[in-house]
Structures are given as C-alpha cells and as structure tokens.
Structure 1
Amino acid sequence: MTKDGTGRSSLVVGGSLVLGHSASYAHCRALTRAAKSSFPLAFRLLPPPKRRAMDALYAFMRVSDDLADGPGADAAALAAWRAALTAALAGRYSHPVHPALHHAVERYAIPPRFLYDVLDGVAADVEPVRVGTFAELYPYCYRVASAVGLACVRVWGLRPGATWAEADTPAEAAGIAFQLTNILRDVGEDAARGRVYLPADELAAFGVDPRAWSSRAPAFVAMMRFQAARARAYYAAAEGLNRYLTPDGRAIYGLMCATYRGLLDEIERRGFDVFAGRARLPRWRKAAALLAAWPASMGW
C-alpha cells in the first residue's frame, strides 16, 4: 500500500497503481482545491464531466510544475515523470492523478503531444533561465501556456460546424498572452530565482540591466510598456476563439481572459512597479468577471 498525498492508501500491483477513475478524479479535485488559484471556481462554469476533466488536467499541470519549482527540483525527476506519463497513457499508472488524466485524454480526444509540450516547458525552469530573443521566448510560452490551453479547449468543445484548424490559432495566441502577463507580473520573483525571461536583446535596446531592476528607472518603465503592448497584441489575436467554442467554453474562456487582462491592467496601473509585491486582481473585479461569465455558460 502507498499513500497518495492526501492521506488515502492506494494499492500497487505489479508495479502499477490500482485506483479507479472516481477515486482518481477525487484526488485531482482535492489537488485543485488546495491550490491557491481562482481556476477551481472557474471550472464551476462547466458541466460536471468537463469539470472533472479540467480537474485532472490541472492536477497533472500542478504536479508537473511543482517538480520544476519545488525543493530539490532536477531534470531526473522530470524525466521520470515524463516516462510515467507515457506509461499512464498506455494504462499503467504510478500516481493517483494518472487514471483520471488517462480517462480525460481519451474521452475528450486530447492529443498527448500537448502534455509532453508542457513537460518540455517546465523542464526549462529547472536551470537558471536567460532568453536571448523573443523568437526564443515564444516556444517556452507555447509549451507552458498555449499547450495547456490547447488541451483545455478539447474539453470545452467546439460549437457545431467549427473545426480545430480554426480554433487552435487563437487558442495558441491566448496562451502566449497569458504567459507574457505572468512574466511581467513575476519579473522580480523570477530574477531572484535566476530566471530572466524578458529577451536580452530587448533589454539591451532599452538600456535595462536585469542585475539592477528598478521600477523608478524610466528605461525600465519604457521596456515594460513595450512588453505590455506585445501582450495586448496577442490578446487581440486571441479574441476570435469565442466564436468557435460551446457556450460553457465561451464562459470559462471569457472569465480567464478577463482575469489575465485585468491583471495586466493592474500591472500598468501600478506604473509597472512589480517589485513592491505581486500584482493581483481586486476581489470585486474577480467577482464581476465571474458574474458576467454565468449567462454565457447558459448560452445567453
């Protein structure tokens, strides 16, 4: 018997974890609820089967991210987790998340490549990060954010007549916009961990030295304004996704866009002072975005 991380015991037979889908989904839900995130509330916009699938995806992403960011993170742990994913997709489970993840992947025809892309992305965070150009940053943003979104939209579903060929392009753009917003929010925290995601050539062009970040420096503010404008361009490119999604898909996507765009607004409102504390969306604005999303989930 082994512990699954929530105090429950799981049975391992022949090297594989024996855990039913219901218990695995319950474990994923527990991980999702334990996370300090607004996403679990957003999942309530979806019907129960889709909500459970989102819990499974979120739990997988959470475990993957923790392996890169947690104490003692190393490439070997992520390589083992990647091998475990391959086994799980073949029905051999070694983690309580696996049965639910496998079930969701099959039920909603989620291409496994998106899950592997995510693992490639989080693996980049194990070592100190320096990015030379935006052309180098884009694949990272794709892997840690766009690939997540491309998996999620398979769960949300498309309206009749829409195709993935149409939906995937704006879905990819949305992920880039979200991750660029995260990068701007976390400039200070990331630098303290040895990670500088903003392109070195652009920092040099604005005369900004990441070893001496200062929100009081006009050059830093100008550079951040340039980065924010790029993020907004990707938000604009992502707007077309709405027309392809089911009503509940439009609702949750609209809520996520409102949340991340609101966060970018907050960063700008603070004059790009991202060092005094993490920028957060005010609770009233989160509540307003959620209330605005409910009618869309019902097709109104």
Structure 2
Amino acid sequence: MSELLEAGYRRCAELTRRHGTTYFWGALLLPREQRRDVHTVYALCRLADDIVDEPEKVDLSVPRDGTPAERLATFRTWFFDALAAGSSDEPVMAAIVDSIRRRGTDPECFGRFFDAMAADLVQDTWPTWDALSNGYMEGSAAVIGEMMLPVLEPYTPEAMEPARALGKAFQLTNFLRDVDEDLDRGRVYLPREDLERFGADPWLRRVTPQWRELMAFEVARNRALYDDARPGLAMLPPASRRCVGTALVLYSRILDRIEAAEYDVFAGRIRVPGREKLGVAVRAVTVGLPA
C-alpha cells in the first residue's frame, strides 16, 4: 500500500476514534482490512456532517471556502470526481475511494447521502414520522447501513433491510440524545405531529409530564427499530456479528440512560462510559453478546 493510502487510512481511524467512539469500539472486533473500511465510511459521513453542522471546523480533507451549502456541493463534486477517477491526491479521499472500489459499494448510496446532508441546510423541522423516516432518514441513516454492508460481508442479500433498520435506529437514538444540541442549531428532528400529540415543547428545555410522555413514545419506537435490525446479526460472519452486535448493544444502552435520567436530555449529553464500552466488547469476544 502506498504512503498516501496509509496516511489516509490512519486519518480515517483517527476521525472515527475521536468522534464515533461506538463505531470505533465495534470495529476493533473486525479483522484489520474490514476495520479500516468501517473507518472510511465513518470518515466520509463525518466530514460531510461537519460541513453542515459545525462549519467553523476546518479539516484538511474538506473545502475551506464558501458557505456551508457551497462547501458541501464542492465536497460532493470532489468525492464523485475522485470516485470516477479511482483515486485522489488527498490522503483521506484516496482511502475512501480505495475502500469503496474494493468493496463494490453502489455509488447511488452516496447521492442519497449528500442529498440528505443538503436538506439539513434548508429544512429544520419535519411534519410527520413518515416524512422524517422515509424522507430524510432514508439518505442520512438507512443508506449508512447500505454503505456498511459490503464491508461486513453478509451471508445473504436479505441482510439489507436489517442493516437499513439499524442505521435508522442509531440515528433516532442520536436525535433523542442530542435534542439540546440540535436546538442550538435551530433544528428539531422530533416530528411535529408527535410534539402536537403530546403537547410537548422542546424549546422550553424542561422536563415536563408532556415531555416525558413524548420521549417514552419515541424510545419505544426506537427499540422497535432495533428489534427490526436484530435478525440481521445471524446473517453476518462471526467477526462482523460481534462488531455490529456490540454497536447495537451500546447504542441501545443510551436509551436506557435516557430513561434513567427521566428523559432529561437538556442537562448534558448522555453517554455510555468507556469502561462499559470496553466491557461489552470484551464480552462479545469471550462469551457472546449480552441481551
């Protein structure tokens, strides 16, 4: 492998370790080549997401000039040009393209992903669960499962729908955990129909009885998505099963902690401690995944 690619894969791993700790811990259970490919998928999504959500960040791997919309459009064009050419002079993009081409990931996935990122720049609320789930989350979450699947080497194409469900489950957990951060960006990802049904107002940033009822409803919806995803574990080879199963368990435990905090997602970001992540990963290797 060239020095350029080695540098790119190292940077992708650094991005995953710093920002996607659950993905990072899960990927540790994979063989080296698969682990690197998980990192590249995460890095591509992280860099695009940062252009949208944290435009003040400047990473060597993304365009620096222009508005967030202009930078995202430039990044999108740069990515697809590099993919068509089969390489890039920039290390992170070179690693991303190398991984995608080796895995044979459908390029159409990335078009849906960039469309969803662009939607974040023009839309800050969603009217219904259907609009959120089958609209925005199709390109921001379900498609991530599709991108990851070639890396995980499933036994059967039937693993696709569980992978898509898991992508949505992970993102809904993020939405529930990050309500306060998203408000700071002027966004509310909880469907308006649900807010109106329960009479809950996130902008109060207070835990009211209405807020608890809303969040209990959303947590139940989230757990149903994890249930839809769980059958896919049996469709993966052992190392991939441990990787995905570990991520599923750890993300599910964020919901447990939200409940334990009585749905107060305004007082600070709810996290699963590092020692607990390590414990789940070790258990996955030694005795199997916990329920």
Task: Tell me the TM-score normalised to structure 2 length.
Answer: 0.88
* 1:199 partnered with 2:196: no
Q: Which residue of 1 aligns with 2:121?
A: 126
Deviations 1:193-251 (A, max 9, x none): 10011111111111123332421x11110011111111011111111101111111101
Q: Distance in 2 between matches of 1:210 and 1:33?
A: 31
Deviation at 1:296, TM superposition (A): 7.8
Farther off after superposition, 225-234 or 44-53? 44-53
Matched, 1:28 2:12: yes
Write the mapping of 1:104-143 to structure 2, written as runs, cut at 5 A.
104-127=99-122, 129-138=124-133, 139-143=135-139
Provide the rounded CA distance (Å) in 1 between the counterparts of 2:287 and 2:36.
20
Where does residue 61 of structure 2 map in the other structure?
none
* Maintained 8 Å contact 2:55/2:68: no
Query: Cα distance 1:126–1:110, how it changes in 2: closer, same or farther (>3 A)?
Result: same
Structure 2 counterparts to residues 259-270 of structure 1, below 5 A: 259-270=250-261
Deviations 1:24-46 (CA, angstroms, capped at 9, x unpaired): 22332333344362422322211
Give the 3 Å change call, closer, same or farther, for CA 30–207 of structure 1 in structure 2.
closer
Q: Secondary structure at the residue paired with 1:51?
A: helix
For 1:65, give the aligned amino acid: D
Matches of 1:67 and 1:149, distance apart in 2: 21
Q: Answer 1 or 2: which has greater strand percent.
A: 1
In structure 2, what is the Cα distance between the partners aligned to 1:190 and 1:80?
25
Shifted more, 253-262 versus 33-42: the winner is 33-42
What is the match of residue 46 of structure 1? 30
How many angstroms does 1:278 deviate by? 0.8
CA contact (8 A) 1:115 1:148 kept: no
Structure 1 counterpart of 2:204: 212
Using the alignment, how far apart are the partners of 2:97 and 2:274 within structure 1?
35
* CA distance in structure 1 between the partners assigned to 2:232 and 2:17 by the alignment: 28
Q: What's the Cα RMSD here?
A: 2.0
Contact 1:190 1:196 in 2 (8 A): yes
Structure (1 or 2) with the larger CA radius of gyration:
1
CA contact (8 A) 1:45 1:248 kept: yes
Counterpart of 1:190 in structure 2 is 182
Structure 1 unaligned regions, length at least 5: 1-17
C-alpha displacement at 1:259, in angstroms? Answer: 0.8
- Verify: 1:173 aligned to 2:157, yes or no: no
Deviations 1:162-209 (A, max 9, x none): 2x2x11111111111111111110111111210011111111111123
Which stretch has the larger CA shift, 194-203 or 59-68?
59-68
Secondary structure of 2:257's partner? helix
- Equivalent residue in structure 2 for 1:156, among 124, 136, 152: 152
Partner SS state of residue 196, structure 1: coil
Q: Provide structure 2 residue ranges, at least 5 long, that are not aligned to the other structure.
A: 57-66
What SS does structure 1 have at the residue aligned with 2:161? helix
| 1:168 aligned partner, one-letter code | M
Q: Find the aligned partners of 1:199 and 1:33 in 2 and give their Cα distance.
A: 31
Structure 1 residues 33 and 270, CA gap change in structure 2 (3 angstroms): closer
Is contact 2:17–2:24 with CA below 8 Å preserved after alignment? yes
Which ranges of 4 or more aligned residues in structure 1 deviate by more than 6 Å? none
What is the identity, as a one-letter code, of the residue corresponding to 1:279?
I
Alpha-carbon distance in 2 for matches of 1:26, 1:187: 32
The SS at the match of 2:84 is coil
Q: Is the 8 A contact 2:22 2:250 kept in 1?
A: no
The match for 2:268 is 277
Q: Which moved more, 1:33-42 or 1:186-195?
A: 33-42
Asked if the contact 1:28–1:59 (Cα under 8 Å) also holds between the matched residues in 2, the reply is yes
Aligned partners of 2:22 and 2:247 also within 8 Å: no
Deviation per CA, 1:266-296: give whole Å up to 9, x if none: 0011110111111111334212211122248
Which letter maps to 2:16?
A: T
Q: How far apart, CA to CA, are the structure 2 residues paired with 1:183 and 1:203?
A: 14
**Equivalent residue in structure 2 for 1:232, among 208, 223, 229:** 223
Over residues 249-271 of structure 1, what are the superposed CA-to-partner deviations in whole Å (9 max), with x where a residue is unaligned? 10110011011100011001111
* Distance across 1 between alignment mates of 2:286 and 2:216: 34
Shift of 1:146: 1.9
Give the length in aligned residue pairs. Answer: 275
